[in-house]
Amino acid sequence: MSRIAVLCSGGVDSSVALMRLAEEGAHDLTAFYLKIWLEDEMAFLGSCPWEEDLEYVRQVCDRAAVPLEIVSLQREYLETVVAYALDELRAGLTPSPDVMCNRMIKFGAFIDRVGDRFDFVASGHHARVGVRNGLARLFRAADAHKDQTYFLCQMRQDQVARSLFPIGDLTKAQVREEARRHGLSSADRPDSQGICFLGRVPFDDFVRHHLGERPGEILEASTGKVLGTHRGTWFHTIGQRRGLGLGGGPWYVVAKDQESNTITVVHADQLADRARRCFRVPLPHWIAEPPGRSHIGVKIRHGQRMDPCEVVVDDDGGLSVELVGVDDPGIAPGQFAALYEDDECLGGGVME
């Protein structure tokens, strides 16, 4: 009988993951709710949902007859994911906190805390795990729209080998159908939005609290004309449209300069001229093995879209990546590129 720790957030995905494992009746299950630092210390910035989430978790655990434990990883969040996000923002880069959260917290610090008690860790991620040539492999979920392998692309081999994703073969609609069949109150609960550690705290409020404001100029790329002012470069990322406060748009951010404290924008009708298709991944991470061919797939952000690309290994071990037949105006330094061979997520790394 496998001993499985099931991460439960209160959402419909993790709830159905727990119920599916409980229905199998062949496992020793314990559910875990991970409590994070921000939900207490930053509560004044917004409505933090952890008490509401925990009530949903208790309901599904009662229904599944599975014991529940609450684990506080507040210090670990602060020292890893939150510190990483703030450092990246200060440097003018675009962080991916959810990618780091999975590697460092959900399948990192949590396993370090309780891993000797369990054989596997299960979660409600839309992804799949398989084994080939003796190595654990991460595969895209059945629901391409909800696939979350982008957020899992930095997991290590030992982490993937101990992971279970019980709903990876279901579409989101099927997940909700199963939740209704089990009578779960989370069946129609909306999906969580935003960054992993923020809960319902607005991202701009979080950034303002930690980094403050540093007003600067918004420049038009083609003319250098000052179109307006921003409150800090860290509130914006390459490819961003909302929140600029400029008339006559839409306008898109195409560059940030930390030294001059300026943001450069272009109008939508000139955006295609600023699109790029080449970038580097200086430190690629492979979950199992590097690609066996040069023409593979890449995601430069979470979502259904995956573009064909050609990768070349540089002399220093980094990757040069060129999108094939497509340009993208939203390639932002600091973001992760997740790389794929067919349905297998090979890994990836930070773009520069």
The residues annotated as belonging to the active site are 101, 196
Q: Whose structure tokens read 């007859």?
A: 65
Give the CA diameter of the chain: 68
280/283 Cα distance (integer angstroms): 9
Range list of H helices, the chain = 12-24, 38-41, 50-64, 74-77, 83-90, 97-101, 110-114, 157-161, 172-181, 203-211
Collapsing DSSP to helix, strand or coil, 328 comes out as: strand
Q: What is the DSSP letter of 122?
A: E
285/275 Cα distance (integer angstroms): 26
Would you call 44 exposed, middle or buried from its count of C-beta atoms within 10 A (0-12, 13-18, 19+)? exposed
166/186 Cα distance (integer angstroms): 17
Bridge partners of residue 146, in order along the sequence: none
Q: What is the DSSP letter of 216?
A: E
